[in-house]
Structure 1
Amino acid sequence: MRLTSGSAGGIPLEVPKNVTRPTQDRVKQAIFNMLGDLVADARVLDVFSGSGALGLECLSRGAASALLIEQDRAACDVIRKNITKTRLESAAVRQGDVFKMLPQMAGQGSAVFDLVFADPPYANKPGEEDLSLKLAQMPDLQSLVAPGGSLILECRATRHGLEDWSPWEMVRDREYGSTRILWLRKR
């Protein structure tokens, strides 16, 4: 895996072992082609960050800042190594459970983001909770997104068409093999 464009384009990234499902380069490229100029100067939040690839890609392409949240300690260590390797110093890493940290951040009222990237673990078996839908419906997440800001949500392609993503406006819904990318905009 590598950064695909910008000031750190081409730099390979380390990937945490056994705890992540990295977004493929072709999917990442498609996401950033969709977003175009929205990345420049954006304040970015990358949750379920894994290697930090999406947040770092934003910084490489001119985002103002990126906060990367990941629960796994070893993955956070990998993210820090990737920040050092890419020299994208306006990235910050926080370790913790996304569903606990977002309410804390919303309660502080200080952080507002233009772009939020989320690649939560997929529900693989019947009866498992769909974290994508749970995250998108969190009022605390919505309060952290600037008016007109966007949530780029990665989920399993097989769940197509069954969800109610309100109060977000659906901008795009694309599938790439088993991966589904949703671009949702705050109304």
Structure 2
Amino acid sequence: MNGRSKAAGPAGGGQVRIVGGRWRNTRLQVPDLPGLRPTSDRVRETLFNWLMPKLPGARVLDLFAGSGALGLEALSRGAASAVLVERDPALVTALRAVVTRLGAEGQVQVTSGDALRWLDTAAPQQADIVFVDPPFADGLWEQVIERLPRHIAPGAWLYVEAPAQRRQSLPPEWSLHREGGTREVGYALYRHATVTLRNDLNAVNNA
């Protein structure tokens, strides 16, 4: 995660790096907090290879931001803006410091709070790409995904990360695009069907 459960790599303190783009090799601190394991460089490299054509100008929502590795990687590679939601005060402080260090205040909104509460109460977003990597022990995937529709743009992309042994079951409007895994985690990229439905309606109307 970004938030409280992360992909691979040692639990606890240390660093991760932004893999590509304008901030390539920038180091992000990972505080020594229980369960905090940022998504590994290898998994992020795979994910952002999948997303590369979608990143320029994209609006990003990272719901369990943690170290900021996913949201900041997206910005580094061309996304236009990002909302980073994180509940741990120490991580929020660290995220805001990183954003200032990168000179990205105009692109990044760091929000302190619980992701589910934020999804229920925040003004609707129009996110093009959403990262969902919650604390594995909390089992929040279904609760988060059912709250997403009011915060996404038509045809939005959704990245989900979970323990390797967990099989995800998403609502039918989310279609699987690509998936992969390591010994510790499974990860997948989905697309929301609204873009397909809209294209189908346009074809009917233009017939």
TM-score between both structures, scaled by the size of structure 2 = 0.80
Give CA deviations for 1:20-59 in whole Å, capped at 9, x if unaligned. 2211111111110111211111000001100111111111
Cα RMSD between the aligned structures? 1.5
> Does 2:142 align with 1:133?
yes
| Alignment check: 8 A CA contact 1:51 1:82 kept | no
Which 4+ residue blocks in structure 1 deviate beyond 2 angstroms? 84-89, 162-167
Residue aligning to 1:68: 84
Residue aligning to 1:175: 181
> Does 2:203 align with 1:186?
no
CA drift at 1:95 = 0.5
Please give the alpha-carbon distance, in whole angstroms, between the structure 2 residues aligned to 1:61 and 1:25. Answer: 14
Please give the alpha-carbon distance, in whole angstroms, between the structure 2 residues aligned to 1:26 and 1:86. Answer: 23
| Alignment check: 8 A CA contact 2:116 2:143 kept | no
| Alignment check: 8 A CA contact 1:5 1:61 kept | yes
Write the letter of the residue equivalent to 1:76: V
CA drift at 1:119 = 1.0
Please give the alpha-carbon distance, in whole angstroms, between the structure 2 residues aligned to 1:131 and 1:177. Answer: 21
CA drift at 1:10 = 0.8
CA drift at 1:104 = 1.2
| Alignment check: 8 A CA contact 1:43 1:115 kept | yes
1:156 aligned residue (160, 163, 171): 163
Residue aligning to 2:149: 142
The alignment-based identity, stated in percent, is: 38
Residue aligning to 1:47: 63
Q: Larger radius of gyration, structure 1 or 2?
A: 2
CA drift at 1:132 = 1.7
Q: How does 1:28-43 map to 2 (within 5 A)?
A: 28-43=44-59
Please give the alpha-carbon distance, in whole angstroms, between the structure 1 residues aligned to 2:39 and 2:171. Answer: 22
Please give the alpha-carbon distance, in whole angstroms, between the structure 2 residues aligned to 1:155 and 1:87. Answer: 32
| Alignment check: 8 A CA contact 2:59 2:81 kept | yes
Residue aligning to 2:129: 115
Between Structure 1 and Structure 2, how many residues are aligned? 176
Please give the alpha-carbon distance, in whole angstroms, between the structure 2 residues aligned to 1:113 and 1:131. Answer: 20
Write the letter of the residue equivalent to 1:67: V
Write the letter of the residue equivalent to 2:23: A
Please give the alpha-carbon distance, in whole angstroms, between the structure 1 residues aligned to 2:89 and 2:156. Answer: 29
Please give the alpha-carbon distance, in whole angstroms, between the structure 2 residues aligned to 1:184 and 1:68. Answer: 20
| Alignment check: 8 A CA contact 1:133 1:165 kept | no
Structure 1 gap segments, 5+ residues each: 124-128
CA drift at 1:164 = 4.1
TM-score between both structures, scaled by the size of structure 1 = 0.88
Call closer, same or farther: CA 1:114–1:92 in 2, change over 3 Å.
same
